[in-house]
């Protein structure tokens, strides 16, 4: 067996593993001399592994920014568009819902480690990353996924985290509160270095033959090289059967009621959302390919988790933790893209000059500062960037960056709890805004407004807010599917921040703009009803 490209040879690996006095994950990387695109690599590895839970996480855009004078400047390209991560053969999957925790173990060596205990959904997730020793996790100047938990936290987890204690009854929902896989083999693309590597975090227990574990790692690298040598992807399409959407009148009436709550002093702002549901046969990989092309974003994700897939292009961070630094990126204030760079600059300037948009954004930055302060060392919280306009395929947004230094005894799960849900998806004050959302929205949010991302073995985390996302339910549903089919249900949702002077028509149109990217991706891959259906993917 060839050890070409390994960061640890057999002797080094064995020595490090034997130095641990408890179960340890030993980080080992293998440089792969392959020329392959992330989506093709994902498709090849997912199909070869025949795993029920696979993921692709990417940064898909180099952003441009504008200052208050409207002059565009190059963005910090190191901030986004650096890495892609492919997960294809998880050790376990953890599903958390109001009825308890379900653990599916795919590698028996991890069975007793993946043991969520009690507490809220984030406490149980923390328990799933049991207390093992982390070996050979070097400090870097860049956040990256080195194995751990990858998945989603649904918005409906707010009932467990916040609303149950104030007596708000949880609505019916098809979504679990969270679903994460424990990944120990991750294909990592470093686009800046034009390098592809396999990042392995195998478990070694005291008394194990560490050399045998290393041998298995070398064999895995050889298998991956072989799969990637012939990697191709043939994305499928979308055959539409029917589509439903909440009426404009219903949403605008909810906006009026939201304004009444603001005027009555119940809240400063409340974010009200609405959904479109489409029924048909869709290939998540085809949708991802189209969305990646149409709406490249800082957070791109494709999760195929059993009978549920998540395809998204989110511009916004819920929370990011690297080492002891916690980062929040409130994004609030929206205007359309222009037909030219000149019009882009004009619209961005108008956005920054809009008193309503500035006031809303400033309020949400203050809320983010409070969230970060709850888990940070006193005096460490600062606003690193304030009111930068970022442009995306269909809209422009105002973004700020809030940072802090994690207090002793706190971790990424505490930081996520403090930030969740982001004020830009709830309003302020959060608890009262969430109560109003529960009363005024006509259906469960499910995943919308939650988070997608990872909690790494080394304590880092990077969680995107679930917006600009399609949730695909592959399970047959006789209530929506045409008779005689097992159609997919695709849900796309968007919201708008409601304040005292909100115009219901404008807020409705904002939700339409925010859904445009995902709907345009579906339109691009749509096929006639009599076309060959999308390819079957084992789940």
Catalytically active residues, by annotation: 397, 424, 448, 468, 497
Would you call 292 helix, strand, or coil by DSSP? helix
How far apart are alpha carbons 160 and 425 in whole angstroms? 17
Q: What share of the chain is helix, strand, coil (3-state, %, to 5)?
A: 30, 30, 35
Which of 488, 416, 292 shows the shortest CA–CA distance to 301?
A: 292
Structure tokens at 261: 């709550």
Strand runs (DSSP E) across 108-250, as ranges? 133-135, 148-153, 178-183, 185-190, 195-200, 203-204, 238-245
Torsion of CA 65, 67, 73, 75, to 10 degrees: -40
Cα 433 from chain centroid (whole Å): 23
- The Cβ of residue 512 has, within 10 Å, a number of other Cβ atoms equal to 15
Are 182 and 128 within 8 A, CB to CB?
A: yes
Contact 423/158 with Cβ under 8 angstroms?
A: no
Place of tokens 């290939």: 283
Phi/psi of residue 105, each to 5°? -100, 125
Cα 521 to Cα 290: distance, rounded to the nearest angstrom: 5
DSSP designation for 77: T
Integer Cα distance of 484 and 502 in angstroms? 45
CA distances from 292 to 201, 392, 516 (A): 29, 12, 13
Q: Report the alpha-carbon distance of residue 47 to residue 186 in Å, rounded.
A: 15
Contact 235, 46 (CB under 8 A): no
């Amino acid at each position: 067996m060839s050890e070409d490209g390994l960061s640890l040879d057999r002797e080094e690996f064995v020595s490090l593993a034997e130095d641990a006095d408890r179960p340890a994950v030993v980080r080992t990387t293998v440089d792969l001399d392959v020329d392959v695109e992330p989506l093709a690599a994902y498709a090849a590895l997912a199909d070869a592994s025949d795993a029920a839970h696979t993921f692709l996480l990417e940064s898909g855009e180099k952003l441009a920014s504008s200052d208050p004078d409207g002059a565009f400047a190059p963005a910090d390209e190191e901030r986004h568009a650096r890495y892609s991560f492919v997960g294809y053969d998880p050790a376990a999957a953890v599903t958390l819902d109001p009825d308890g925790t379900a653990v599916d173990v795919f590698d028996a060596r991890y069975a007793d480690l993946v043991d969520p205990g009690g507490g809220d959904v984030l406490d149980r997730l923390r328990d799933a990353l049991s207390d093992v020793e982390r070996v050979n996790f070097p400090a870097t100047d860049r956040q990256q996924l080195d194995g751990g938990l990858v998945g989603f936290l649904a918005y409906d987890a707010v009932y467990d985290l916040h609303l149950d204690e104030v007596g708000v009854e949880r609505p019916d929902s098809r979504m679990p509160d969270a679903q994460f896989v424990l990944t120990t083999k991750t294909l990592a693309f470093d686009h800046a270095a034009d390098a592809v590597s396999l990042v392995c975090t195998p478990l070694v227990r005291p008394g194990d033959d560490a050399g045998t574990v290393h041998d298995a790692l070398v064999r895995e690298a050889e298998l991956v090289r072989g799969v990637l040598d012939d990697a191709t992807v043939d994305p499928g399409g979308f055959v539409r059967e029917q589509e439903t959407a909440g009426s404009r009148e219903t949403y605008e009436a909810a906006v009026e009621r939201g304004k009444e709550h603001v005027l009555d002093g119940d809240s400063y702002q409340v974010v009200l959302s609405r959904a479109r549901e489409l029924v048909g046969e869709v290939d998540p990989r085809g949708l991802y390919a189209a969305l990646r092309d149409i709406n490249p974003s800082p957070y791109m994700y494709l999760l195929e988790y059993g009978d549920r897939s998540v395809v998204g292009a989110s511009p916004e961070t819920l929370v990011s933790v690297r080492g002891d630094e916690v980062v929040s990126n409130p994004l609030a204030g929206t205007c359309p893209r222009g037909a030219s760079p000149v019009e882009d600059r004009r619209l961005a300037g108008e956005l920054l000059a809009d008193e309503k948009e500035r006031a809303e954004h400033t309020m949400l930055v203050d809320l983010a500062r409070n969230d970060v302060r709850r888990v940070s060392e006193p005096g460490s919280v600062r606003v690193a960037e304030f009111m930068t306009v970022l442009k995306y395929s269909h809209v422009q947004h105002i973004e700020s960056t809030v940072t802090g230094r994690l207090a002793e005894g706190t971790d990424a799960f505490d930081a996520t709890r403090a930030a969740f849900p982001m004020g830009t998806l709830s309003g302020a004050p959060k608890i009262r805004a969430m109560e109003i959302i529960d009363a005024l929205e006509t259906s469960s949010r499910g995943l919308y407004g939650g988070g997608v991302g990872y909690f790494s073995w080394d304590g880092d985390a990077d969680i995107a807010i679930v917006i600009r996302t399609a949730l695909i339910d592959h399970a047959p549903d006789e209530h929506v599917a045409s008779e005689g089919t097992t159609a997919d249900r695709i849900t796309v949702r968007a919201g708008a921040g409601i304040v005292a002077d909100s115009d219901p028509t404008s807020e409705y149109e904002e939700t339409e703009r925010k859904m445009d990217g995902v709907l345009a991706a579906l339109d691009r891959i749509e096929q006639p009803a009599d076309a060959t259906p999308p390819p079957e993917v084992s789940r």
